Amino acid sequence: MIKHASPFHSFRLLLVALAGFALGASLAAQPPAAPSAADLESPAAREARVQWFRQAKFGLFIHWGLYSIPAGDWKGERSPGIGEWVMNRMQIPVTEYAKLAGGFNPIYFDAEAWVQMAEDAGMKYIVITSKHHDGFAMYHSKVSPYNIYDATPFHRDPIKELSEACARHHMPFGFYYSQSQDWHEPGGMGNNWDFPSNGEKSKSGAYDRYIREKAVPQVKELLSNYGPVCLMWFDTPQEMTRERGQVFIDAVRSLQPNTLIDGRLLPGGSGGDYQSTGDNAIPPEGKDGDWEVPATINQTWGFRKDDTNWKSPGEIIFKLVDIASKGGNYLLNVGPMPTGIIPQGSQNNLRSVGRWLKVNGEAVYGAGRSPFGDEFGDYAAKLRDRGGKAPFLPRTDWRCTTKPGKLYFTIFHLTERVGSSNDAYFNLPAFKNAIKTAYLLGDPQKTPLEVKTREDGSRSLVVSRFINDTMGAVAVVEIAGDAVGH
Ligand code: FHN
């Protein structure tokens, strides 16, 4: 099978080309100067860095660590909430939690199988927890022996194996790294049951020592030893001032200037290349700029044995198309088990999504946001939530994404039958452009759909009423002109 170069790979070629162009003919004989820090923070540099991310739209998030062993239970007691927070929720002392490492031996871990699953699911990048809040490095770190290679009987570096598998599949690969919270270290944020409070650590210099001696050196290891890193996914920026954040930015930019920084390095998203929404927080309407929704496939990030509440393929497809039509990316998480296996239920549903994307991916990858907006829903006229605000009442019948000259209507629900036939109308929103042709992405023949135009100018596509019986069906409407006119 022919593998196409990934968008990330194309982006690297583009950067090389741009650098060559910028240098100009008069400097052709000299070695290219390294870009300055200011150049790397320029809008043009950010614009170039973010191209692959805009195309990708759908990524795999992986939360994997020691917490997958207790999997939501501690000493027979159920720990509430998300699985990877068990140490914090149960206030487990560092020395006791660290003993989990002795029993961590994920012998069924198969990097190739994980990357293949992401590819089958139609996901275009992978981000894995290299170190979560528990402080345990899931790679062979020389900075701290508290890592999977040195502290477990597994004695392998899964991040290395994954980076190699990703390279084989041209799959962009990035790292989650908990820069502030580190419950294992006296100076890290978040562990106030073993160590002094966050405020005291910040004032005493312990936090800065942790950043200097563990967090930044580990980020440097990740950017030095695992090939191209598509993005660094920082999280929960507690006590993260601009000065502290800058040290991380400098580390990333100096080692891999093309690596994206997510929106959670600093409070408010400053310093990042794109915005992260809240967890599972899909904006109600379209949103400017580059952004990503990190989301769970069940109710937890790290594996919990009592949570098999997988989102169905249909739900995942709706969310993916909904997010794409609003202008964002969907980073969907799985929580592998301590055996090294990704729970089968989550794998099955992701593969179903992949089969849908094989047919309909043109409507998602690299697609622009909706030129309409009413389809998202509206704020309630009378209802008020507890905070006195009007809640947003979403509509879910269809979503629209775009490419030049094309509108992709993903239809989730058809409401109007054509008489007593097996046809239904899909009522198009109003736009001025003439329609050149319309067809279903699921129809390899691209059989033209009938477009019914009424006296008032409103137009509908005539489609089989069965097209979306299982999941959304995409109708492509090719229009005169590149963009929609209202
Ligand atoms: O505390 C973490 C949580 O464990 C998980 O990693 C999520 C993923 O977005 N981020 C934090 C909470 O927002």
Q: Is the CB of 301 under 6 A from ligand 1?
A: yes
Q: Is the CB of 119 under 6 A from ligand 1?
A: no
Q: Is the CB of 84 under 6 A from ligand 1?
A: yes
Q: Is the CB of 427 under 6 A from ligand 1?
A: no
Q: Is the CB of 235 under 6 A from ligand 1?
A: yes
Which domains can be identified in the chain, with CATH numbers?
Answer: 41-363 (3.20.20.80), 374-479 (2.60.40)
Continuous segment of H or E residues that includes residue 42? none
| Tens place of pLDDT per residue across the chain (486 aa) | 334 444 444 444 344 333 333 333 344 456 667 778 888 888 999 999 999 999 999 999 999 999 999 999 999 999 999 999 999 999 999 999 999 999 999 999 999 999 999 999 999 999 999 999 999 999 999 999 999 999 999 999 999 999 999 999 999 999 999 999 999 999 999 999 999 999 999 999 999 999 999 999 999 999 999 999 999 999 999 999 999 999 999 999 999 999 999 999 999 998 899 999 999 999 999 999 999 999 999 999 999 999 999 999 999 999 999 999 999 999 999 999 999 999 999 999 999 999 999 999 999 999 999 999 999 999 999 999 999 999 999 999 999 999 999 999 999 999 899 999 999 999 999 999 999 999 999 999 999 999 999 999 999 999 999 987 778 999 999 999 988 988
Extract the runs of DSSP E, i.e. beta strands, from 326-379.
329-334, 377-379
Atom of ligand 1 nearest to the CA of 333: 8
Helical H runs in 129-205? 148-151, 158-169, 198-204
* Interval between CA 281 and ligand 1 midpoint (Å): 12
Per-position b or e across 73-90, b if 16+ CB within 10 A of its CB: bbeeeebeebbbbbbbeb
* Interval between CA 133 and ligand 1 midpoint (Å): 9
* Interval between CA 236 and ligand 1 midpoint (Å): 7
Q: Probe ligand 1: pick from 301, 329, 334, max atoms within 8 Å of CB? A: 301
Sequence-distant (6+) residues with CB within 8 A of 79 are 70, 72, 73, 85, 86, 89, 90
Residue nearest to atom 1 of ligand 1 (CA): 236
Angle between helix axes 216-225 and 242-255 (nearest 10 degrees) is: 20
* Interval between CA 292 and ligand 1 midpoint (Å): 14
Name the residue type at position 72: G
Helix, strand or coil for residue 410? Answer: strand
* Interval between CA 178 and ligand 1 midpoint (Å): 9
From residue 174, how far is each of 38, 243, 264, 442 by CA, in Å?
24, 24, 15, 33
Helix, strand or coil for residue 64? Answer: coil
> Which tokens is 82 given?
């998300």
* Interval between CA 334 and ligand 1 midpoint (Å): 13
CA distance 101 to 55: 39
Q: Which residues pair with 398 in a beta bridge?
A: 411
* Interval between CA 466 and ligand 1 midpoint (Å): 40
Q: Is the CB of 294 under 6 A from ligand 1?
A: yes
* Interval between CA 274 and ligand 1 midpoint (Å): 17
* Structure letter (DSSP) for residue 182: -
Q: Is the CB of 89 under 6 A from ligand 1?
A: no
pTM reported for the whole predicted model: 0.94
Burial of 93: CB neighbours in 10 Å, binned 0-12, 13-18, 19+: exposed
